[in-house]
Amino acid sequence: MNIYDIAKLAGVSIATVSRVMNGSDRVSEKTRQKVLSIIEEESYTPNIFAKGLGLHTMHTIGILVPTISDMYMSRAVSYLEEELQEFGYDCILSCSGFEQEKKAAHVQLLLSKHIDALIMIGSNYAGEGSRRDTEYIRKAALQIPVFIINGTVRGDNIYCYVSDDKRAVEEAVSSLIESGRRRVLFLTQSDTFSAAQKLEGYRRALSRHDIPFDDRLVVHVPNHVHGVLNILLNDVSEEFDSILATTDIVAVGAVKYAAARSLRIPEELSIIGYNNTLMALGCEPELSSIDNHCDTLCKTVVQHLLAVLAGSGEEPKKLTIGCELIKRGTTDF
């Protein structure tokens, strides 16, 4: 009998059982009593519970990001750390950068700290589709469970959690088109797996509405407000009536472009950002943005991580979380 068995008998998640055992107030009294009743019936003790979660481990999780300066990644780290600490786990954060050798080196550095599991944040870790790009992850998974947020890598002991970026962008661009927009500019700041999924969603929306794909309307920009502004002012000659940006920062650059050109938002230019960060609320007008539910994604990762460490063999190898378009002042549909 272990924590996973208790969770199944109670009809709750392993995270809920852990909260009950830790005395957390984030559990209803009804659920708490149900779990405690099963624990008593099964003669389940705190010591056995501790063993189920790895009593003789460091109780430490490694978290790897390319850069903590990225708003999505910093939010994810915050959510993960808060959730893990509630269950008695400490975190070691490492920033690898984007170069292949450095990513592999930082994985080895974290492994040397005797971590119980590794969480990698960002589709950059999924590489560009080559198995060779991700072999270092499969090697790490021979030692500990590896959880990847917003990227897909196939292999034993590797668990991937992604946002449904493709569908989200397809629906958002379709809404722009159905509101009368015909020239949707796609602004992307990277060539990652996530960015590729968003671009595919953009293509699908165009195809769905019989609009030919024009690669001149796909523009690579830096993830920097003034960098985006400069490119839109000086380097984009094609006409466009709306913008889908792959981050809120890029979208804010587009809002500044509209101000510089005296374009009315959303009447003359509609803009949609991505990630639904505070940046979306900090510009005028407030930015419509696709919420990829980073908080839900991270909480799901922690719940499944606890289950894997407790010996569950039933956790999915890949899970997709839906996204939601939050409509504000930069769109009128």
Residue 167 · residue 178 · CB < 8 Å: no
Say which CATH architecture domain 60-163+295-322 belongs to: 3-Layer(aba) Sandwich (3.40)
At 41 the pLDDT is 87
Best CA proximity match to 287, nearest among 259, 257, 327 = 327
Tally of CB atoms within 10 A around 63: 25
CATH 1.10.260.40 domain position(s) in the chain: 3-52
CATH 3.40.50.2300 domain position(s) in the chain: 60-163+295-322, 165-292
Q: What would the pLDDT profile of 223-279 be if each residue is shown by its tens digit?
A: 999 999 999 999 999 999 999 999 999 999 999 999 999 999 999 999 999 999 999
At 45 the pLDDT is 65
CA–CA separation, 162 vs 72, rounded Å?
A: 13
At 73 the pLDDT is 93
Residue 124 CA from chain centroid, whole number = 12
At 205 the pLDDT is 98
CATH no., domain 3-52: 1.10.260.40
Residue 44 · residue 52 · CB < 8 Å: no
Per-residue pLDDT of the chain (333 residues; tens, 9 = 90+): 667 778 889 998 877 887 787 777 778 899 989 989 988 888 876 543 444 444 446 789 999 999 999 889 999 999 999 999 988 899 999 999 999 999 999 999 999 999 999 999 998 898 765 788 899 999 999 999 999 999 899 999 999 999 999 999 999 999 999 999 999 999 999 888 889 999 999 999 999 999 999 999 999 999 999 999 999 999 999 999 999 999 999 999 999 999 999 999 999 999 999 999 999 999 999 999 999 999 999 999 999 999 999 887 788 999 999 999 999 999 999
Which CATH topology does 165-292 take?
A: Rossmann fold (3.40.50)
Place of tokens 């195809």: 207
